[in-house]
A = this chain, B = another copy of it.
């Protein structure tokens, strides 16, 4: 049996990425009820908001779900306490050192997955006792690795480095890309952008429509001197770009970034001044659908392409 399905007790080895301002309990439970693993994105939630989302998800999800926690965010201790107290069974940690919380969480009985972008942190996560890792390539939206290793180059390197299950992320939005990831050796896939434009995504409709109308080259890895993050190009992105071209230092960039830019863009729909995190694969997305339909289409296309590939004469 597929190691990712077995680990989480799910029907398809497809994880919906925990995304700031997009993946609350509605999206996570929709994906879980459709047979994938839904993740609540804690990165954009105050602890009390997260608590509410977990409680709602527990009520509405009939199958396993989890929470994604970016370790560089504030209130981490409060967030971890809520996750434990609410009896969450699956946690994905990202953007930080896997050694910090993995043992603590494993001791509490949780399944722990850590998101990495290079083999150094993949090994660290495995050594810390993580149950699996998400290997995220350069094309992924949001926070990203400094090495800029693409999913196609990253998965084989990570599979060689560790023996725990590897979930591929970055550039995957359909069944053909899912098959490509498995061909490279991945045990499952994590999908963000395709679910960011789902009906149940809490992203603002302006942001969803902006994603759907985007084309090749419309996302870029920005803020490399702070922490690399893949953004949709807009006026805010251009301000960051100009500042970086002019050699802005860390403090100047932090000041330009300010507070609440991601909420302003992704949740409140200000496409000019807001920060819009999304993956490169968004260039190929063209409609808003229920998460269950998106998941089903990915799975059906995966099976169809797998069948096609197994039969082609080359």
With A118-B217, A183-B179 known as contacts, the answer to whether A152 contacts B152 (CB < 8 A) is yes
Chain B residues with CB below 8 A from A137, complex form: 150, 152
A172 beta carbon closer than 8 Å to chain B: yes
Chain B residues with CB below 8 A from A148, complex form: 217, 220-221, 280
Decide: A280 and B176 in contact? CB cutoff 8 A. Answer: no
Q: Mark A137-157, 1 if CB is under 8 A from B, else 0.
A: 111000000111111111011
A247 beta carbon closer than 8 Å to chain B: yes
Complex interface residues of chain A between 21 and 71 (CB less than 8 A to chain B): none
A150-B173 Cα distance, complex, nearest whole Å: 14
Q: Mark A160-181, 1 if CB is under 8 A from B, else 0.
A: 1000000000111010110111
With A152-B137, A283-B157 known as contacts, the answer to whether A118 contacts B177 (CB < 8 A) is no
- Tell me the nearest residue of chain B to A158, going by C-beta: B216
With A179-B183, A183-B176 known as contacts, the answer to whether A151 contacts B150 (CB < 8 A) is yes
Decide: B314 and A310 in contact? CB cutoff 8 A. Answer: no
Which of B12, B13, B152, B309 makes the CB contact (< 8 A) with A310? B309
A99-B154 Cα distance, complex, nearest whole Å: 36
Decide: B309 and A153 in contact? CB cutoff 8 A. Answer: no
Chain B residues with CB below 8 A from A154, complex form: 216
A185 beta carbon closer than 8 Å to chain B: yes
With A119-B216, A306-B309, A310-B309 known as contacts, the answer to whether A177 contacts B156 (CB < 8 A) is yes
A247-B247 Cα distance, complex, nearest whole Å: 8
With A5-B314, A118-B216, A138-B138 known as contacts, the answer to whether A171 contacts B157 (CB < 8 A) is no
Which of B2, B118, B138, B174 makes the CB contact (< 8 A) with A313? B2
- Tell me the nearest residue of chain B to A172, going by C-beta: B152
Tell me how far the C-beta of A2 lies from the nearest C-beta in chain B, rounded to whole angstroms.
5
Chain B residues with CB below 8 A from A307, complex form: 310
Complex interface residues of chain A between 174 and 197 (CB less than 8 A to chain B): 174, 176-177, 179-185
Tell me how far the C-beta of A169 lies from the nearest C-beta in chain B, rounded to whole angstroms.
11
Tell me how far the C-beta of A307 lies from the nearest C-beta in chain B, rounded to whole angstroms.
8
Decide: B153 and A280 in contact? CB cutoff 8 A. Answer: yes
Task: Give 11 A-B pairs besides A119-B216, A160-B284 with Cβ atoms closer than 8 angstroms.
Answer: A1-B313, A2-B314, A118-B216, A137-B150, A138-B150, A147-B216, A152-B172, A182-B314, A245-B247, A247-B247, A310-B310
Chain A residues in the interface with B (C-beta under 8 A): 1-2, 5, 12-13, 118-119, 137-139, 146-154, 156-157, 160, 170-172, 174, 176-177, 179-185, 216-217, 220-221, 245-247, 280-281, 283-284, 305-307, 309-314
